[in-house]
Chains A and B, each alone.
Chain A
């Protein structure tokens, strides 16, 4: 079983619908991230969370919200989906315990991605 699991893996929805992408991890890591990837643009950071009570906006948080329900779960919501949110979404985790302290961060471990299409 994957250490970082994303659901759903694929979703097609219509403009205006509310969508939730879920991420769960069994690695015991403290930090979790949501990225989106568009062709030619690399990965853009949407939100990141250092622990359950610490959530931060990334580069492109407008139109998105997140919830860190537990250390192992970090969900991303699109309250009212629009076509330009069509993208591949990745959840990732990292562990500061092996990163040399809070000024560093360890290796990112990614889920397999959730492909979202908004019509």
Chain B
């Protein structure tokens, strides 16, 4: 089982739609969680961190469910500019479990927003 798994999509939605992505992780000792966005042929960039209580940034809402070991990203009122690959990232213990900082990426979910 992969450490971090995402539905690769692609998700193809019209402008204005609401779309949700899920991501599951296998290591229950994982400490922190993030969503990154990657445009075609570009480097990934941080979209938002995911906090235990859930957090919102404009049209984007992230949720964490530690019991079920998944995180989610909800995008409301989709824009054409939201078209990108969304990467789930999990911070897990390194070998020996003595320190953190091993950031593992999911395979990414492709989103295309069309007019």
Contact = CB atoms under 8 A, between A and B. Distances in A.
B interface majority secondary structure: strand
A112 B107 contact: no
A111 B43 CA distance: 7
Interface in A91-107: 94, 96, 102-105, 107
A48 B31 CA distance: 18
Interface string A8-49: 000000000000000000000001010100001111110010
A56 B43 contact: no
B102 interface: yes
Interface of B: 3, 6, 8, 31-32, 34, 36, 42-46, 87, 89, 91, 94-95, 99-108
Interface of A: 31, 33, 35, 40-45, 48, 50, 56-59, 90, 94, 96, 102-105, 107-108, 110-113
